[in-house]
């Protein structure tokens, strides 16, 4: 079915992003994998085209799209190139941007946002800790007031863009006695004494995204780098997570759909027992199921995107979109590997890399089990 979510302006923007992917990302795909990071040149190219500042006011260097659907288009097109591409850029323009736009003072905006938009400052967000996983309320990183500064101690792990980030939004416990209500957000900048990074983590998939552990050993952060109100960090993160989850959902299904299209083309060309493998009844029925599942999922995600654009997306519906899209993505890609046979297990084939890349989507942005817990609570259970 024709998608009705987007206008001509969105589709023109999509064509622009597709050209950027073709020109600046696809030729470097193997390089990104080898160096386990997207190079600065590509970040700057994205910034020059205005992609990184979609949600940033023009006075601070952004393109101020004023319409979340442009974020979704960008995420979808990047996901077609690779899940890690969408993830790395998405953490910056889709996840970190609202924190740096909505919580900052004018002075902080002037200090950070212009270079955020150009790609000169790459950002990450430090929520997850080694012992915490999806339980953000249990974080152990602390920030203790010392005059006009805060002393931060602790660590974060599985941080996308963590190795190369210039700015990291860090959640730290400022009032331990308040538990979840005693968490505050800070911006830690590259070069601050005591702020170090571990190795780039060796992940099962998504090697293009630099993912790292972050360590804070008596890092002195000025109060001018505090983000938002004191002890309001947990509440803020809960308010921001629906955007991260619907953004992830949009990328998940775009990624799966792209590989499914490639697999369908392969099934029409590949022959076994004298006929196209796609013509065997089992495979024909399987493709019918996969295409239907992708399109039905896309319809729900589009409704969620429309709701988020008007500020009406609930946290529960975002959770539904996140877990279901991740499950469908993984189901589809597992079937695509099977349809490719032995070739599907070779890393040189996009389908194999996509299959490995997708596995984490059932874990990050809140595990699928946590999403079901949120939905179950909403049902009064």
Q: Report pLDDT for 190.
A: 97
Kindly provide the residue ranges of all beta strands, DSSP E only, lying in 100-206, ordered along the sequence. Answer: 123-126, 142-146, 149-160, 167-173, 183-189, 195-200
How many other C-beta atoms are found inside a 10 Å radius of the C-beta of residue 324?
20
pLDDT confidence tier of residue 5, bands split at 50, 70 and 90: very high
Q: What is the pLDDT of residues 182-223, one digit of tens each?
A: 999 999 999 999 999 999 999 999 999 999 999 999 999 999
pTM above 0.75, yes or no: yes
Provide the greatest CA pair distance for the chain: 78
Full set of structural domains in the chain with CATH: 8-121 (1.10.540.10), 125-230 (2.40.110.10), 234-379 (1.20.140.10)
Percent of the chain at pLDDT above 70? Answer: 99
Number of helices followed by number of strands (H, E) in the chain: 12, 10
Q: Report the candidate in 298, 265, 258 with the shortest Cα–Cα distance to residue 78.
A: 258
Residues carrying an active site annotation: 244
Q: Report pLDDT for 264.
A: 98
Average pLDDT estimate for 50-77 = 97
Average pLDDT value for the chain: 97
Q: Report the candidate in 308, 353, 329 with the shortest Cα–Cα distance to residue 55.
A: 308
């Amino acid at each position: 079915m024709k998608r009705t979510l987007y206008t001509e302006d969105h589709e023109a923007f999509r064509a622009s992003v597709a050209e950027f992917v073709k020109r600046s990302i696809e030729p470097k795909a193997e390089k990104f994998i080898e160096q386990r990071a997207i190079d600065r040149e590509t970040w700057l190219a994205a910034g020059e085209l205005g992609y990184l500042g979609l949600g940033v006011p023009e006075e601070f260097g952004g393109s101020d799209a004023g319409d979340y659907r442009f974020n979704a288009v960008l995420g979808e097109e990047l996901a077609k190139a690779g899940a890690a591409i969408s993830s790395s850029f998405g953490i910056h323009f889709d996840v970190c941007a609202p924190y740096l736009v909505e919580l900052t003072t004018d002075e902080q905006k002037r200090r950070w946002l212009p270079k955020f938009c150009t790609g000169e400052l790459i950002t990450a967000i430090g929520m997850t800790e080694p012992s915490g996983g999806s339980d953000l309320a249990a974080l152990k990183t602390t920030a203790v007031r010392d005059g006009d500064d805060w002393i931060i101690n602790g660590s974060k792990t599985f941080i996308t863009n963590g190795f190369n980030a210039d700015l990291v939004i860090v959640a730290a416990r400022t009032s331990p006695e308040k538990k979840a209500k005693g968490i505050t957000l800070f911006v830690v900048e590259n070069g601050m004494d005591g702020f170090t990074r571990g190795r780039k983590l060796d992940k099962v998939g998504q090697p293009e995204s630099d993912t790292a552990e972050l360590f804070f050993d008596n890092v002195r952060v000025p109060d001018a780098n505090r983000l938002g109100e004191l002890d309001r960090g947990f509440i803020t993160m809960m308010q921001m997570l629906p955007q991260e989850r619907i953004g992830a959902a949009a990328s998940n299904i775009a990624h799966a759909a792209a590989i499914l299209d490639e697999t369908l083309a392969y099934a029409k060309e590949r022959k076994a027992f004298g006929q196209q493998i796609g013509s065997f009844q089992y495979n024909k029925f399987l493709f019918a199921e996969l295409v239907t599942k992708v399109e039905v999922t896309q319809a729900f995600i589009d409704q969620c995107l429309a709701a988020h654009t008007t500020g009406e997306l609930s946290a529960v519906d975002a959770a539904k979109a996140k877990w279901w899209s991740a499950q469908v993505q993984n189901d589809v890609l597992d079937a695509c590997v099977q349809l490719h046979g032995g070739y599907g297990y070779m890393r040189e084939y996009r389908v194999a890399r996509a299959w490995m890349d997708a596995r984490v989507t059932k874990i990050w942005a809140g595990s699928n089990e946590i999403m079901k817990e949120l939905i179950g609570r909403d049902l009064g259970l």
